[in-house]
């Protein structure tokens, strides 16, 4: 059945994790409309990600830009609602836990002629101090159909009374990673430009509000990275929010801490697949590292991706420099990277195929 599908996205993770679903939807012959909120200020980087993943140019771009949580969400709601009103009924797909996810879902469910789905449903950190956690919960309870990545996520949805509308399909982020890692390794020249060698460098990403908006917390993380960089080079692609926080807290980069601007997807994937380890506060990167065989240390006290902890490929290290140095230091002494996790899709087919099939076989709006 021919039907229009809107994909609302505004950040790097959404572009990456929705890319297999967008690709599958286009190949099914359905009408595809990408609504780009412009949540992140580096809109040119968003286009680079779309190019890396062979995705079409967005039909609408709202250029929302950075702001407070509520103001940003309000502008996203206005932009998405105007586009949906103008372009007509259809399926609306949101992904993850960002303000674009929340704004897109609210705009869609406020209109009765749209069927709204959430990809990566059921993730819970159980830390309601994180704005992402509130976004996830609200979106899951608002949407019509919920596609979950893990059995634990489905259990979370069941406990919240959402079992009837949940489907276990697997992670589209992992699917995107495995689809593109060979291309990344083949095309990226970044390692040679940075002067680092396979399994002889670390990687770090820091972007969450809880780690950047509190000066002492960021200072502790930075101290740990600085100390670790005395032992092994660490590549640090700096998120715009983090760059501002580093400047405001007057933190200096040592020579062995290799600072780069935000990276395009294929360059980052090439680094991640070849790094000795990664320190991160990103949920998606924890997943990617697990399936690439790169040791992960998470700069938080909890994680949504508990299966990575259970599998022994990820360790929660928090933000205390002493603990980070102790845990990562022991791993460096061992010198043996973990084995990549094996992929077992819950439905027997890649998540994007399961999602597209479910949507194309449902009754039209």
**Residues assigned a catalytic role:** 207
> CA–CA separation, 165 vs 329, rounded Å?
45
Q: Which H or E run includes 160?
A: none
> CA–CA separation, 3 vs 311, rounded Å?
40
Residue-by-residue DSSP string for 232-275: S-EEEEPPHHHHHHHHHTT----TTEEEEPPPPHHHHHHHHHH-
Instruction: Report phi then psi at 127, rounded to 5.
Output: -120, 95
Q: Measured on CA atoms in the order 32, 355, 139, 114, is the torsion positive or negative? A: positive
> CA–CA separation, 28 vs 98, rounded Å?
28
Question: Is residue 218 a contact partner of residue 245, using CB atoms and an 8 Å limit?
Answer: yes
> CA–CA separation, 158 vs 160, rounded Å?
5
Q: Measured on CA atoms in the order 176, 180, 185, 191, is the torsion positive or negative? A: negative
Q: Which residues contact 258 (CB under 8 A, 6 or more apart)?
A: 194, 196, 201, 233, 234, 235, 236
| Percent helix, strand and coil across the chain, each to the nearest 5 | 50, 15, 35
Residue 350's CB is within 10 A of a number of other CB atoms, namely 22
Q: Please, what's the b/e burial string for 131-156 (b: 16 or more CB within 10 A of its CB; e: otherwise)? A: bbbebbbebbbbbbbbbbbbebbbeb
Burial of 93 (0-12, 13-18, 19+ CB in 10 A): buried
> CA–CA separation, 238 vs 246, rounded Å?
9
């Amino acid at each position: 059945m021919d039907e229009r599908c809107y994909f609302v996205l505004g950040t790097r993770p959404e572009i990456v994790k929705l890319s297999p679903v967008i690709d599958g939807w286009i190949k099914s012959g359905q009408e595809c409309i990408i609504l780009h909120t412009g949540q992140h200020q580096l809109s040119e980087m968003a286009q680079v990600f779309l190019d890396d993943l062979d995705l079409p140019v967005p039909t609408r771009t709202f250029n929302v830009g950075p702001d407070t949580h509520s103001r940003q969400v309000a502008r996203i709601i206005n932009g998405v609602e105007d586009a949906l009103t103008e372009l007509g009924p259809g399926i609306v797909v949101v992904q993850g836990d960002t303000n674009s996810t929340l704004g897109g879902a609210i705009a869609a469910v406020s209109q009765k002629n749209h069927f709204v789905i959430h990809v990566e449903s059921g993730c819970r950190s159980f830390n309601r101090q994180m704005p992402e956690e509130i976004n996830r919960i609200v979106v899951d309870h608002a949407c019509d159909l919920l596609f979950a990545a893990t059995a634990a996520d489905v259990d979370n949805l069941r406990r919240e009374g959402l079992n009837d509308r949940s489907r276990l399909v697997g992670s589209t982020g992992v699917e995107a990673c495995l689809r593109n890692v060979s291309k990344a390794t083949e095309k990226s020249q970044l390692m040679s430009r940075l002067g680092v060698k396979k399994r002889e460098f670390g990687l770090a990403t820091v972007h969450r509000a809880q780690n950047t908006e509190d000066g002492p917390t960021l200072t502790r993380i930075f101290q740990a990275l600085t100390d670790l960089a005395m032992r092994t080079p660490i590549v640090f692609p700096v998120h715009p929010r983090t760059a501002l926080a580093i400047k405001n807290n007057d933190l200096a980069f040592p020579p062995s801490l290799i600072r780069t601007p935000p990276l395009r997807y294929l360059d980052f994937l090439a680094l991640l697949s070849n790094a000795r380890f990664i320190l991160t506060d990103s949920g998606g990167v924890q997943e990617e590292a697990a399936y690439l065989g790169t040791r992960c240390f998470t700069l938080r006290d909890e994680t949504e991706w508990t299966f990575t902890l259970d599998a022994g490929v990820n360790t929660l290290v928090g933000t205390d420099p002493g603990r980070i140095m102790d845990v990562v230091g022991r791993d460096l002494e061992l010198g043996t990277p973990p084995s990549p996790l094996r992929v077992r899709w819950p439905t027997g087919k890649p998540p994007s195929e399961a999602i597209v099939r479910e949507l194309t076989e449902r009754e039209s709006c």
